[in-house]
Structure 1
Amino acid sequence: MFSEFKPFIINTSKIKINLIKGGQGFPVLLLHGYPQTHIIWHKIAPKLAENFTVIVTDLRGYGDSDKPPGNPEHSHYSKRIMAQDQVEVMTQLGYNQFYLIGHDRGARVAHRLTLDYPDKVKKIVLLDIAPTYEMYTLTDQEFATAYYHWFFLIQPFPFPETLIKQNPDYFLTHCLQSWSKNDFTFTFTSAAIQEYLRCFRDPKTIHGTCEDYRASATIDLEHDQADIEQKIQCPLLVLWGKQGIIERKYNVLDSWKKRAINVQGKPINCGHFLPEEAPEETYQSIRDFL
């Protein structure tokens, strides 16, 4: 899927991050979401590599990156510490500035990274999210029904881990099927599915990804509240699935205009997984913006 990319393992100050790198030109960092890995970008990254140097990582807790155990404060999986991982990766690769693209959980890491390191990011693309703080503070039955996993995964250890470990293949496949709107076998290649399953079967992945969500409901909200008036300074493109809850529930552009000074965006005719459900339109929108 990434035949022209080279694999790397980067030792950050805290953990090891798995990544691949390919192409040439100005650097672009791609961050994935739940319950996936860097593989989500396999339909887009090779095209971006025709014009950019593309770095595609696994977030901590996911894929083949390290999966530290959680702690009572869930700080090991705060978006602040996950953003620090990625900045250290890019610094070690020799990139002091870069474009940043995130989907789902990776978009939440990207948002925090851009706030904490505004001098690092030249442009940012966020896929299928509204701001975390807004989504939690405006929770209602419609949102809780569609995003039930936000409230399941944050339950205290080891409750969600124990249930998911009974059948991780079913849980992961259910997530992919229920959050996508296009034909499943067309959207997710067999090679991608096998990689997602391989990684998600690891109990450390199940725990790490639960901690990611627990952090979002605790320490991340504290960080968001502390700098609620701070805005993203670089140009921001937001894209979201026209058939998903983000389209139905939020005025996405208005939401992000409260958190950034230069925003543009539009819906893409698909569900949650833009890079795999609608790769051509998603790629072209990103390419035009960059």
Structure 2
Amino acid sequence: MTADVTPESAGWDYSGLRIVDLPPEGTFCWDTGADEVVVVPLVGSVTVDADGERADLAGRTSVFAGPTDVAYVPRDSTLTLTSTPGGRFALATARARRRLPFCHVPVAQVQVELRGAGACSRQVNNFATPDVLEADRIIACEVLTPGGNWSSYPPHKHDEQRPGESVLEEIYYYEVARGGPAYQRVYGTDARPIDVLREVRSGDVVLIPYGWHGPSIAAPGYDLYYLNVMAGPGARSWLICDDPAHAWIRGTWADQPVDPRLPFTPDDPAPAVDGERR
């Protein structure tokens, strides 16, 4: 196992992420406890078993090779991953109140969107968002950004901007094509200061407990992938608002085409185009 983020290690209450590397014929076993889990193949195929339920995930050869099928595993389960070819698999987690049914989300049900335009074009694969997957708290998706483009822009945050209301704890896990660099900005407010500009590479994780985040910057020549995992105490909702200082940028997209390098998958030639979401 490489990355291993729990609410306890992060110093918050809900979101977690484990990255599991399996050799050929490898097996990984885990008791989920209070966590609901979404199993996301990053590279390779895997069989997911949990308390008598099973899903054979076809997976993919690379995070840049298109979306993947995933499996939802409820809390209080004994989870086993078995991979004949071996591979790398993300376990996106959230502390859950309810025990919901095991579920296999086939790749045909993953909603692929193109967001933004011009140098802000990116592809979003929605596999564990509220409109795709029933879950208790977890929200998860993956974003692919062509080299030279900016994602998570304009900067935004996930709360209702009123004191005492819910904030989504967010994890970013990165992979960068050809071993290149990428960059992530996170900043807060006068009341809750935070200021981070970090170079990230494949396998790196950035935790975002609150505040504005963006852009996620793909260096020229190096396509960028990141997995978003979010959860919080309130309703299972994006709670997205743009930084007012930069929200005007969204209005410049109307006359710009979507980057022709998108989509990354040739299997879905006409994903939804949505300039309003991030």
TM bucket normalised to smaller: under 0.3
Q: Hey, which of these two has a bigger chunk of helix by percent?
A: 1
TM-score (norm. length: structure 1): 0.26
TM-score (norm. length: structure 2): 0.27
